Amino acid sequence: MKTCLVLEGGALRGIYTAGVLDELQKEKIKIDTIIGVSMGSLVGINYVSKQPGRALRYNLKYCQDKRYMSIRSFLKTGDLVNKEFAYYRIPNELDPFDYKTFDQSTIKFLCTVTNLDTGKAEYIEIKDSKKDIEYLRAGGSMPAVSKIVEIDGKKYLDGGMADSIPIQKAIEMGFERIIVVLTQPIEYRKKDSQNKALSRLYHKYPKFVKTIQSRNKRYNQTIEKIISLEKEKKIFVIRPSKKVPIKRVEHDPTKIKEQYDLGVQDFKNKKKELIKYLK
């Protein structure tokens, strides 16, 4: 049976996922497909390139660097997360990404993006990691603080808007063993907070606006479905065992490290259960 890994986003909360994946890599468990969302994709690629510790390393080093993610970058470029620095200079020069290992891997990697014209999620297979970097950038481009990313005439933003946790996609692909890594504790439910402001901002894309307006309800329904499938032992879930007060765009390295360490510890605590599930 083949195994799929589903990775939720959540901006810097996603460093929790990096902690989980770094420990998972030590176990040498065979993963056939990864479906990442937003930050889930951006840390997940390091699993495929076999670079444990990389996501934590560059986030700790550059979290206070205004060239990385800052209001200055947003005012100057229209992107809170600076395109040239985060997606090109870091992986190509400052903390090199192993493009060759990623591209030669047998693991199928899908990056979730939201199409503004259709309002629907698209799951883009990343085959050439250097060439396809713009899909990863699109998938992690948070609305309101990122420019729309246009690729081959299609306009994209954060994949989490249309499908925050692609569990249904994994089921439809026929996987019988599914590992889901979440970035919020079990009690978390999404509230209607920014929908009205975002709807006004993206009024030129009516289908995307509908997606925005239904996001909270769809997210909460997905969480309930995940809890149900988990109880039936049809999927295996690793989620934060406690709430870490970390911001979506966090500049405090101690909080980033705390979130990462929680991922490491939560994986260790559930490792035996995971191995039993996979068998």
pLDDT at residue 194 in the model: 61
| Section 255-259 average pLDDT | 98
> Above pLDDT 70, what percent of the chain?
99
Average pLDDT across the chain, whole number: 96
| Section 19-39 average pLDDT | 96
Distance CA 53, CA 125 (A): 24
Least confident of 61-65, 162-166, 197-201: 197-201
Taking only the tens place, the pLDDT of each residue in 66-81 is 999 999 999 999 999 9
Task: Specify the higher pLDDT residue, 213 or 193.
Answer: 213
Distance CA 264, CA 18 (A): 8
| Section 82-96 average pLDDT | 98
Residue 276 binned pLDDT confidence (cut-offs 50, 70, 90) = very high
Evaluate if residue 159 carries a pLDDT over 70: yes
Taking only the tens place, the pLDDT of each residue in 99-156 is 999 999 999 999 999 999 999 999 999 999 999 999 999 999 999 999 999 999 999 9
- 35: closest CA among 25, 48, 26, 22? 48
* Tokens 């068998």 belong to residue: 279
Distance CA 74, CA 147 (A): 9
> Above pLDDT 90, what percent of the chain?
96
| Section 190-198 average pLDDT | 79
Name residue 108's beta-bridge partners: 33
Residue 28 binned pLDDT confidence (cut-offs 50, 70, 90) = confident
Residue 248 binned pLDDT confidence (cut-offs 50, 70, 90) = confident
- 128: closest CA among 151, 103, 106, 107? 103
| Section 27-51 average pLDDT | 97
Residue 1 binned pLDDT confidence (cut-offs 50, 70, 90) = confident
Q: Where are the beta strands (DSSP E) in 73-215?
A: 108-115, 121-125, 149-151, 154-158, 177-181
Evaluate if residue 206 carries a pLDDT over 80: yes
Evaluate if residue 196 carries a pLDDT over 90: no
pLDDT at residue 62 in the model: 98
pLDDT at residue 193 in the model: 61
Beta strands 33-37 and 3-7, pairing class: parallel
